[in-house]
Structure 1
C-alpha cells in the first residue's frame, strides 16, 4: 500500500469525523425543548405530571430532570423514587415526570434536559388545603370586632361631646352678670311740708348775722 493511499484514507476519515461533529453541533443548537404545563398551583396530597417535548423527535435521546428553588438558581438532579416517577419517550413526548402525594417541600421549578439542552422550566407551588368552616368563622369574628370597635368609637365621641357641652353650660352660669342692686330701695325720704322755696327761706340767716360756728 502506497503512502499516497494511506494519506487519502486518513484524510477521508478526518473529513467524515469533522462532518459528523458539525452535524451533531448543528442539531444540538437547533434543538428546542418544550415543557407543559409551565405552572402548577396545587394543595398538598395532590398528584402532578410534567411533560417534556423535543423539537427533534427522531433523535434517540432520553430526558433527565432537575429541580431548582427558583428559575435562576442552581439546578439539582432528581432521582426517581416512591414519590417521583419518570417515564421516558413515547410517541409524542420525550419524557414525563410525575410527583405523587405533594408536600410543601416539593414546591420549586422543575426542568427537563435533553442532549445538554434545558427546557424553560415548570413552576410548582404547593399550599395547604383551606378549611372553609374555619375561614368563615374567622371572617365573621373579624366583622364582629370591626362593628364592636365602631360602636365603642361612637360612644366615646358622644360622651366627649356631652361632657364638653356640660362644661360650657357651667362656665356660662359662673360668669352670669349679677342683677342691678337698688341702693336706695327701702330708704324713707323725708319731705318738708309746704313749698320748697318757702321752707328754705325760713331757715335762712339774716344778712350780716354770724354763723353759729364762728
Structure 2
C-alpha cells in the first residue's frame, strides 16, 4: 500500500529536474587583456553541478544581432571546475569578449558578459590628455576675449 502511494505521488508530481533555475555571476565583468576571470553557475535547488557545459556567444560589433553560440572546450585558457559549475578563463584577449552561458539539465543560464579591452599606451594617453587641456584653456581664453571686447567698446561709447 505504501509503495503504491509513492508511485502515485511520483506520477502526479511534476519533474523538477528538467525545470532547474540557474543563476550566474558575475553578470558583467570588464577586464584588460591578459587578465583572468572565474565565472560561476549555480542552481536554486542546490543540486550538485555535475555535467555543466558552457557556451560563448560572441558580441557582434557590426550589427545589433549577436553571433551563434559556440560550445567551449577545455584548453590552455579555458578550464572547468569539476562538479562546481565554474569556468576559469585565463590570459584573455579582446576576441574572448562575449556572453558566456552555462547549461545544466537542459536549462540555459542567464549569461555572464565578459568584455576584454586592449591595454593602452600610457604615454600616448597622457599626451592626448595634455593636448585636450591646452585646447580647453585656449577655448576659455578666446571666449573671455570675445566677451570682453563688446563690454570695452560699449564702455568707451558711454564715456
- The equivalent residue for 1:141 is 131
- The equivalent residue for 2:152 is none
Whole-angstrom CA distance in 2 between matches of 1:87 and 1:157: 66
- Secondary structure at the aligned position of 2:18 is classed as helix
- Equivalent in 90, 101, 106 of residue 116 of structure 1: 106
Instruction: Report the aligned-residue RMSD.
Output: 3.5
Whole-angstrom CA distance in 1 between matches of 2:48 and 2:86: 17
Higher helix share: 1
Higher strand share: 2
Q: Is the 8 A contact 2:17 2:105 kept in 1?
A: no
The alpha carbon displacement at 1:24 in A equals 7.8
- The equivalent residue for 1:79 is 73
Which one has the largest radius of gyration?
1
- Secondary structure at the aligned position of 2:86 is classed as strand
Compute the TM-score of the two structures, normalised by the length of structure 1: 0.53
Unpaired segments ≥5 residues, structure 1:
1-15, 160-214
Whether 1:37 aligns to 2:26 is yes
Unpaired segments ≥5 residues, structure 2:
1-6, 60-64, 150-159
- Equivalent in 118, 131, 134 of residue 128 of structure 1: 118
After TM superposition, the structure 1 = structure 2 runs for residues 64-213 of structure 1, keeping only pairs within 5 Å, are 64-70=53-59, 73=66, 74-89=68-83, 93=84, 95-149=85-139, 151=141
Compute the TM-score of the two structures, normalised by the length of structure 2: 0.69
Residue 88 to residue 154, structure 1, CA distance change in 2 (3 Å): same
